[in-house]
Copies of this chain bind each other. A is one copy, B any other.
Amino acid sequence: MSGTHTDVPSMVSASLPDPVPVEEYEQCPVTDVLRRVGDKWSILVVVLLGKRPYRFNELHRGIETISQRMLTRTLRGLEHDGLVHREVFPTNPPSVEYRLTPLGRTLLVPLSALADWAVEHGPDIAAARSAHAPHTGMTSQG
């Protein structure tokens, strides 16, 4: 890490002076954020909303494989954390628009860094995985 990481670095000092107050880990903001966007759909929705506002069914069509339930839950979660804004239009056929908040937009930046890493090293991970696969085609099998 950069060292900008609150008290976390001190917890992981090289000598591990104490049994370690690992309760602290629970409040680690990094892990917290990672778990927030690490679910199946959040990042996808954030990226999508990073382009422009979307209506509910528009998002639903845009992702398609997501269920209404999960789309609702994902949006609610992001809204709950102040990353997404929900605006209801009291039209006759009800319409709801979702958009990133300023906070949500700032998240797109560091997400890009990780995205670059993922694109850059995704093949490396895939290679490492297949290297451990049980049927990689090891010629020294017998």
A135 to chain B, nearest CB (A): 15
Residues of B within 8 A of A35 (CB): 38-40
Q: Is the CB of A12 within 8 A of B48?
A: yes
Stoichiometry (number of copies)? 2
Cβ-neighbour of A114 out of B111, B119, B125 (below 8 A):
B111
Q: Is the interface of A mostly helix, strand, loop or mixed?
A: helix
Other than A36-B125, A109-B113, give 9 A-B pairs with Cβ distance below 8 A. A5-B115, A19-B61, A20-B62, A31-B44, A33-B122, A81-B128, A106-B117, A110-B113, A110-B114
- Contact yes or no, B30 A80, CB < 8 A: no
Q: Is the beta-carbon distance between B51 and A12 smaller than 8 angstroms?
A: yes
Which A residues have a C-beta under 8 Å from some C-beta of B? 1-2, 4-6, 8, 12-14, 16, 19-20, 22-23, 25, 28-40, 43-44, 47-48, 50-52, 58, 61-66, 80-83, 103, 106-119, 121-122, 124-125, 127-129, 131-132
**Which of chain B's residues have a CB closer than 8 A to the CB of A64?**
19-20, 22
Q: Is the CB of B114 within 8 A of A114?
A: yes
List the 4 closest pairs (A to B, CB-CB), nearest first: A38-B38, A82-B128, A29-B122, A29-B118
Query: B34 to A2, Cβ gap below 8 A?
Result: no
> Is the Cβ of B81 less than 8 Å from the Cβ of A114?
no
Closest chain B CB from A26 CB (angstroms): 8
> Contacts A16-B58, A20-B64, A22-B64 hold; do A30 and B121 have CB atoms under 8 A apart?
no
